[in-house]
Amino acid sequence: MSNASTVSSPPLDVIVVGAGFAGMAMVRKLAELGFTVRGFERGSDVGGTWYWNRYPGARCDAPSLQYSYQFSEDLQQDWHWQENYAAQPEILAYARHVADRFGLRQLITFNTTVTQAVFDAANVCWSVTLSSGETLFTRYCIMATGNLSDRLTPTIEGLAQFAGQWFHTAAWPVEGVDFAGKRVGVIGTGSSGIQAIPVIAAVADQLSVFQRTAQYSIPARNSRTDPTYEAQIKADYPGFRRRNYGKPLAMDINLKLGTPKTFEVSEDERRERYERAWTEGGLALPFSFRDAATSLEANAAMSQFIRDKIGQVVRDPATAELLKPKHVFGCKRPCLDTGYFESYNRQNVALVDCSGGIDCITAEGVQVAGRVYPLDILVFATGFDAITGSLNRIDIRGCDGLRLKDKWADGPRTYLGLQTAGFPNLFMISGPGSPSVLTNMIPTIEQHVNWIADCLVHLRTAHLTRIEARPEAEDPWVETVRTLAERTLWGACDNWYVGANVPGKPRVFTIYVDWVSYREKCEAVASRAYEGFALA
Ligand code: N01
């Protein structure tokens, strides 16, 4: 271990990689605490996922009054969300407002990708290389690179020959895409596809949806923000936040103490509860009973209810049948929609079963089972190399030149999802092994931001310059993440949680599924002088 007194100070205390909601909050917090901090962002503006995913219909499926920052009471009082589930333009406008209001732009360099980060053990710092070719030195490096930001375009033979235009939902052109009078194809029916399809269907001449796996979706029942409800929340916003912080998912959901298990009630009451939740929309249905995520039988009952609903909504029986999902509800991240299943009642929408694979793409369109579907525009709503993709695309090298990618060859290993052994002074926000995507992201991002900021203040006060997760803390943490996940049904099918959507990616469930115990554990670790970390 280095002796702190012999270590020279690099020009920067902290580099933050990424200027989505995590990077923005981290930069703001550290600047406020007097650290020299610089953010780098590959996009031309703040917003992260909400900067890139401008596809038609993009909308958050956490309620706006909760999916927002809480670090400033003035900010949360001043900002008015127009809708219960905000659309992408409103969320991006909010991110820009925060950047301007808190002077963040002067601390962030845009249009700049961090390509490499190498730990310099002698000087206890990171040398960070940028796409501009410049190399900077910083004591700490914080990865705020996002869980869903490394987009996947599947390798399908013939794409280069396609004579029309093609787009990925996660790299949508700023100027938008005009679908009027066009024959459009959408590959993918996850959250992005399910949100985009009804909006494209309303404009396009013809829409062909290429579905490999049918997906569960629940009506969001989005509406304008109710002023009475907003006033009620704003009358005690900190109290609302505090209560939500202690709830599963860090969100105000329907799950109340005393919510029964599925088969503790009569069939009639079960049906009535499902119906009520379906009418309410959003996440009411999955939380209408407390065992839908843990009991296969309970899950099957709710899944059948959704399949029945699809059968009632979609008029053509063959299309309805094809749209009925077969997997365990929740093991593929369920979607919230606005008019998704209804889209298939339109004359201009056709569902194409590509469960046997897409043969190829020709100059004319997409070929499935020997038939070519002619297209002018093809949309890939095909998802992401989730959780680790955005970290692994940077050449990160820790002690003795160990590459992060190599260390994680069999799956990511972290302690608390905040650090990984062998990579001192490198932090991750919402890293693998933390609750991340299975929570209300902005509040849980802020929990990481505050934890890291407190940790850096602790090091500064104690004249320490180095912190590293101990391997003996990391091993049991990885095991805890695995065993907790085994109690749920979320790993029960091929999904991006386990990396099954990325060819060759090791299948490991990397999300800590219990937000409440996670938060308590983080607090306990900090209060015990950063137990499990080596400080020097
Ligand atoms: O991506 P996905 P997404 N041929 O991976 C299909 C968050 N999000 O961008 O299921 C044919 O879910 C693939 O089929 P299959 C949210 O956490 C949030 O939609 O693998 N099809 C699937 O249907 C979400 O879960 C919001 O068989 C191919 C689709 O593409 C996550 O982002 C909005 C294929 C990919 O679905 C990712 O969502 C949007 C191929 N070769 C996203 N390759 C909100 O907050 C892939 N597919 C509302």
Give me ligand 1 centre to Cα 433, in Å: 21
Q: Which of 337, 501, 511 to mutate to test the pocket of ligand 1 (most atoms within 8 A of CB)?
A: 501
Residue 107 within any structural domain of the chain: yes
What span, in angstroms and rounded, lies between the C-alpha atoms of 332 and 314?
Answer: 22
In a domain, 518, yes or no: yes
Atom of ligand 1 nearest to the CA of 189: 23
Nearest to 60, CA basis, from 384, 337, 253: 337
Q: Which atom of ligand 1 is nearest to the CA of 494?
A: 20
Q: Is 303 in the pocket of ligand 1 (CB under 6 A)?
A: no
Distance 166 CA to ligand 1 centre (A): 17
pLDDT score of 484: 95
Buried b (16+ CB within 10 A) or exposed e, 360-387: ebbeebbbbeeeebebbbbbbbbbbbbb
Q: Which atom of ligand 1 approaches the CA of 354 most closely?
A: 11
What is the Cα gyration radius of the chain?
24
Whole-number pLDDT of residue 259: 87
Reference 389, options 356, 437, 461, 424; nearest CA is 437
- DSSP state letter for 419: B
Ligand 1 centroid–CA 357 distance in Å is 16
Q: How far, rounded to the nearest angstrom, does the alpha carbon of residue 239 sit from its chain's CA centroid?
A: 26
Give residue 256's pLDDT.
Answer: 62
Ligand 1 proximity of 188 Cβ (cutoff 6 Å): yes
- The answer to the question of residue 89 being in a domain is yes
Distance CA 412, CA 390 (A): 13
Contact call for residues 144 and 18 (beta carbons, < 8 A): yes
Q: Which atom of ligand 1 is nearest to the CA of 188?
A: 30
Number of domains in the chain: 1
- Cβ of 250 less than 6 Å from ligand 1: no
Candidate from 192, 217, 353 with most ligand 1 atoms within 8 A of CB, to mutate: 192
250 falls within a domain: no
Residue 255 pLDDT:
59
CB neighbourhood size of 532 (10 A): 18
Q: Is 149 in the pocket of ligand 1 (CB under 6 A)?
A: no
Q: Is the CB of 214 within 6 Å of ligand 1?
A: no
Ligand 1 mean position, distance from CA 321 (Å): 20
* 501 assigned to some structural domain: yes
The neighbouring-strand residues paired with 120 are: 125
Q: Which residues contact 120 (CB under 8 A, 6 or more apart)?
A: 126, 127, 137
Residue 53 is part of a domain; what is its CATH number? 3.50.50.60
Condensed to tens digits (0 to 9), the pLDDT of residues 124-168 reads 999 999 999 999 999 999 999 999 999 999 999 999 999 999 999
Name the 3-class secondary structure at 428: strand
Nearest to 114 by CA among 376, 390, 501: 390
Report long-range pairs for 27-31 (Cβ below 8 Å, ≥24 apart).
27/104, 27/107, 27/108, 28/71, 28/102, 28/104, 29/71, 29/449, 29/450, 29/453, 30/453, 30/456, 31/107
Q: What is the DSSP letter of 431?
A: -
Ligand 1 contacts CB of residue 123 (under 6 A): no
The whole-number pLDDT of residue 492 equals 80
Domain that holds residue 442: 7-150+385-535
H/E stretch holding 78 reads helix 73-78
Q: Specify the pLDDT at position 3.
A: 40
170 Cα nearest atom in ligand 1: 9
Question: For residue 508, is it within any domain?
Answer: yes
**Which whole-number Å values give the CA distances from 450 to 315, 437, 447, in the listed order?**
51, 18, 5
How many angstroms is it from 86 CA to the middle of ligand 1? 20
Q: Is the CB of 189 under 6 A from ligand 1?
A: yes
Write the CB contacts of 139 (distance below 8 Å, at least 6 apart in sequence): 9, 10, 12, 13, 14, 124, 125, 126, 425, 465
SS3 218: strand
Distance 383 CA to ligand 1 centre (A): 4
Residue pair 501/435 in contact (Cβ under 8 Å)? The answer is no
The residue whose C-alpha atom lies closest to atom 10 belonging to ligand 1 is 213
What burial letters (b/e) apply to 450-482, b meaning 16+ CB within 10 Å? bbbbebbeebeeeeebbbbbeeebbeebbebbe
pLDDT given for residue 37 in this prediction? 98
3-state secondary structure of 336: strand
Q: Is the CB of 197 under 6 A from ligand 1?
A: no
d(CA 285, CA 39): 40
Q: How far is the CA of 33 from the centre of ligand 1 (A)?
A: 39
Residue with tokens 């996947």: 152
Residues in the chain with pLDDT < 70?
A: 1-8, 254-257
Which atom belonging to ligand 1 lies closest to the Cα atom of 193? 19
Query: Is 220 domain-assigned?
Result: no
* pLDDT at residue number 257: 58
CA distance 127 to 425: 12
Residue nearest to ligand 1 atom 8, measured at CA: 191
pLDDT tens-place string over residues 97-117: 999 999 999 999 999 999 999
Strands 533-535 and 467-469: antiparallel
Q: Is residue 362 part of a domain?
A: no
Query: Residue 343: what pLDDT?
Result: 98
Pocket test for ligand 1, best of 152, 167, 212, 338 (most atoms within 8 A of CB): 212
pLDDT of residue 517: 97
- Reading the block at residue 118, the tokens are 């190498």
Helix axes 441-461, 237-245, angle to 10 degrees: 90
496 lines ligand 1 (CB under 6 A): yes
Does the Cβ of 446 fall within 6 Å of ligand 1? no
Quickly count: other Cβ atoms within 10 Å of residue 45's Cβ.
17
Q: What is the DSSP string of 152-183?
A: -----TTGGG--SEEEEGGG--TT----BT-E
Retrieve residue 204's tokens.
């396009």
